[in-house]
Structure formats: C-alpha cells, structure tokens
Chain A
C-alpha cells in the first residue's frame, strides 16, 4: 500500500495513494473526490499524491470494498451497499435520521469505522456525497400500493423499502441499468436523487417518484495499514480533508439537482407525487431499520444510539 516503507513514516517520504471510485468521475456524486485530492495534496505540500486509478472499469464497483480491504488499492469512494455483505452495519449510513453534522458530533462514524476495521481491515473516513434517494419508473404509480409486482433495480440500500412496497428487487451495477431498462427487464430503478443523467437513462425515463427518501450512502474507505503507515500529521490531513470535501461538494448539490430536474423534464419525464407520501417515507425508514436488525452481527441499540433521533 502506497510507497510507505516503515510504520509511522518519515517527513521526507512521498506517499502515493491509489484511489478508485465506484462511479466515473463524470458522475456528479463523485464531485467531492477532486476537492479531496486538491485539499490533501495542497495541505500535505505534495507529501501525499492522490492517484485516481479509475472507476468501475478499473475495479468493478461491487469489488472495491474487497480491493481496499486486500490492499489492491488504498482508498475508494464507494456506496456502502456495494460491499455491505462484508459489513451489513455500513448500511446504517442510508437509514440515518441525523444530519452529517450531528453524526460527526456524536462520533457516529468513529463507531462505524471500528466495525469496518474489525471485519475488513479498512477505516471509514466518513461520507463522500450529500443527497437522498429517488425511484425512477417507466410505469405510472399513484400511491404506495401501485409498486406491487414491479421489477425495480436496487442494491441493498433500497431492498427494505422496495420489499416493503411489494416490488421485486433486482441487483445490478449502474452500468447495466440502461440496457435492462431498455429491454424491459426492469420497470424502473432506485438511484440517488441526482446524477441520473450521468448514467444516461434520462431518454428512457417516464417518471420520477416524489418524495425523495433516506440518505446517500457514498462513503470513503481507506486501507487500515495504509492509514497507520502515514505520519500522524498526514493522517490528520487525510481525515480532515474527507470531511471538508463533503461539505464543499454539498454546496453544489442543490444546483445540480435543479439543473437536472430541468433536463429530465425536457426529456419528457414527469414528477409524480405519491398520494400517501408520508406512508412512503415511513416504510422507507421503519422497514429499513427492521430489516437492518436482521442482517447485522452487532447490537442494533448501539447503531440506534448513533444514527437515530
């Protein structure tokens, strides 16, 4: 991992960190990455070099958690659901009731990071993207009851909600959504509440469901060995840059969403507000917590302490 040769490192050494991202850098959800890179390289005065090895074409998104864990790469900007079979607890980042500020104050991510270290030898540096989730459909729905029997692409992030709605969940990476939708293999897909135009599906899309729900789970992982091999001051720079870059990218999200909604409408898609939107949000949250409890190996009360109101 990196060019670090000795534990603790020296002041002179240059550390090269190899980073993969679960989506291409052209995707707006990855907007925090270049900011992170700039901050780290500047503050470390070049002692850390961030090398972007690529997106899912370099390492499949679903493998990036393992790749950080086994040291193939040093860091990854990856959704918790892409590696959550290793650490189901990571999914709590979707189902949180707190804002990131509140989570940071409570030390929620430190707790979650410990579980990550224990299970897969990676540290969790925090969130990487602000945002929520949406469901995009080709079939019209009016209420929560109309989802029954629809086939919807979704990762573990969405499974509890979609199952709660009676829909069928089909798991696939972002790159497969377009053709699956086009060929009618799925009736729709769950995705972040922005950057849907970055995967190019707007031309196929008929409806975006309102309201949005839950919380974007794009996280920053770093290999534990890589991290401890960095000198203490560099460790601090990296950790702080992770948080700083989140808030920096968060500033731009509203604008991204606004622009994108225009583009979606220009492509002929409609926004449909559910009649029972409160019930929808309720299912999204409560089903998710119930579901999570059945999947984790640790104490749900601890998770609730750190991620619920």
Chain B
C-alpha cells in the first residue's frame, strides 16, 4: 500500500485528519516525547531541525513561485504569438528550467512531510523495534544515495561554472545556474534523511511509534 502517495495527493483528507482525535493524540504524544527528553542530544537535534525546517520552507516558497512563473511564462508565450503576433521563443525553455528548480527545491520539504511515494507492503506489517530498525536502514541508505547524487551534481555544476559554459540557445543562460538546483535540493535531502535517522535513533528505545500510519478517517 502506498503511504506517501496517499498522504500527499489528497490534501483534503489530510485536513480532515488534522481535525481528528487521532491527530490530537499524536500531537500530545509528540509533546510528551519532546518534554521528556531534555537531554543535550535532543536539544541539539531539535535546534538543527528547526533551522533546516525553516530553510525547507524558504525553498518551498521559491518552488511555489517557480510554478506560477512557469504558468505566466507559457501563457505569455501563447499571448505574444497569437495576440501580439510577435512570438517569443524563450518561454518553453524557461518553463522547463523553472520546473527543474521547483522539483528539486520542493523535494526536501516533501520528504519532511513523508510525501515521497513508497510501497509499504512490508513496512506496514512491521512493528516496534523491527520497524524502527528498518526505517533506520532506509534513512541511512537514502542519505548516502542523496549525498552521492549531491556530490556529483556539485561537481558537474562547479565544472560548468569554472569552464564558463553558456548555452547557445535563444537566451545565453549560464549552464551552472540551470544545474544548481540539483545540488541544492539533494544537499538538503541528505540533511533531512540524516535528521530522520537521528530522530529514529534517539527514540529507538521508546516503543511508542511516533510516526503515524495511514489515518483511519471518518467522513464528515
């Protein structure tokens, strides 16, 4: 069953869920967790978490802006062709580049909200420490994979920058500017995976499962 897809595609459902008793319980459980653990490790974790969460929100706002710019750019392209009779040709390319930005800048925030689709066929039947262990493996391996992707996208971007590569298309975009979101996005994905891993490790002993499964919701 598909947990991420479920959560993120149906926002209305989530909003219904936010009003349910289950969610209030979840919130209070989470509060207990954080108040019970005033250790240094926990404080540094939540400090780091707050900084990264803030950064993710900034990137999310940029990503949202990109979507609207995409819309405007393409509509402007049609308008200038059909109405002004003076076609502009950069709009399609521009929209494509904006899409790359929006995807990679939104990715860490989506991860934080468990929005990347996964098949939790096996995760769904695991419980307690086994589940936690499995999550740790997934977060650790994903962090490594994201980091490797980050490293090579950084390398490609820097190399393009240092060689001064400029596109020969309609508008001379410097290529590194187009490649940049890949490195930025995967850097913060790596950090978020590490934070998720740390959270699992810090709460490893508690049997309380602070991650919620797909909520059982009563219709309004």
Contacts and interface: CB of A to CB of B under 8 A. Distances in A.
- The answer to whether any beta carbons of A and B sit under 8 Å apart in the complex is yes
Interface of A: 81, 84-86, 88, 91, 119-120, 149, 151, 156, 159, 168-171, 295, 297
B92 A170 contact: yes
A151 B87 contact: yes
Contacts of A159: 168
9 contacts: A85-B166, A86-B163, A119-B163, A149-B85, A149-B87, A156-B168, A168-B87, A169-B170, A170-B89
Interface of B: 85, 87, 89, 92-93, 163-170, 175
Contacts, number: 33
Nearest to B173: A85
A88 B163 CA distance: 12
B89 A85 contact: no
Given A85-B175, A86-B163, A119-B163, A295 B89 contact: no
Nearest to A157: B168
Contacts of B175: 85
Contacts of A168: 87, 89, 170
Contacts of A170: 89, 92
Residue of A81, A85, A151, A295 with most partner-chain B CB within 10 A: A85
Given A84-B168, A171-B93, A171-B169, 15 more contacts: A81-B168, A85-B165, A85-B166, A85-B168, A86-B163, A88-B168, A119-B163, A120-B163, A149-B85, A151-B87, A159-B168, A168-B89, A168-B170, A171-B170, A297-B164
B165 A86 contact: yes
B12 to A, nearest CB: 34
Contacts of A297: 164
Nearest to B168: A156
Nearest to B89: A168
Nearest to B87: A168
Nearest to A291: B168
B87 A295 contact: no
A83 to B, nearest CB: 10
A81 B87 CA distance: 24
A88 B166 CA distance: 9
A127 B37 CA distance: 70
A297 B166 CA distance: 11
A86 B175 CA distance: 10
Contacts of A149: 85, 87
A171 B165 CA distance: 17
Contacts of B89: 151, 168-170
A289 B130 CA distance: 68
A169 to B, nearest CB: 7
Contacts of A119: 163
A85 B159 CA distance: 13
Contacts of A120: 163
A197 to B, nearest CB: 27
A85 B179 CA distance: 14
Nearest to A88: B168
A84 B167 CA distance: 8
B173 to A, nearest CB: 10
Nearest to A119: B163
B169 to A, nearest CB: 5
Contacts of B170: 168-169, 171
Nearest to B175: A85
A171 to B, nearest CB: 5
A119 B166 CA distance: 13
A86 B93 CA distance: 19
Contact of A85 (B85, B92, B167): B167
A120 B175 CA distance: 15
A120 B160 CA distance: 10
Given A85-B175, A149-B87, A295 B92 contact: no
Top 10 A-B pairs ranked by shortest CB distance?
A156-B168, A168-B89, A85-B165, A85-B167, A171-B169, A85-B168, A168-B87, A86-B165, A84-B168, A85-B175
Nearest to A295: B168
Contacts of B167: 85
A86 B148 CA distance: 25
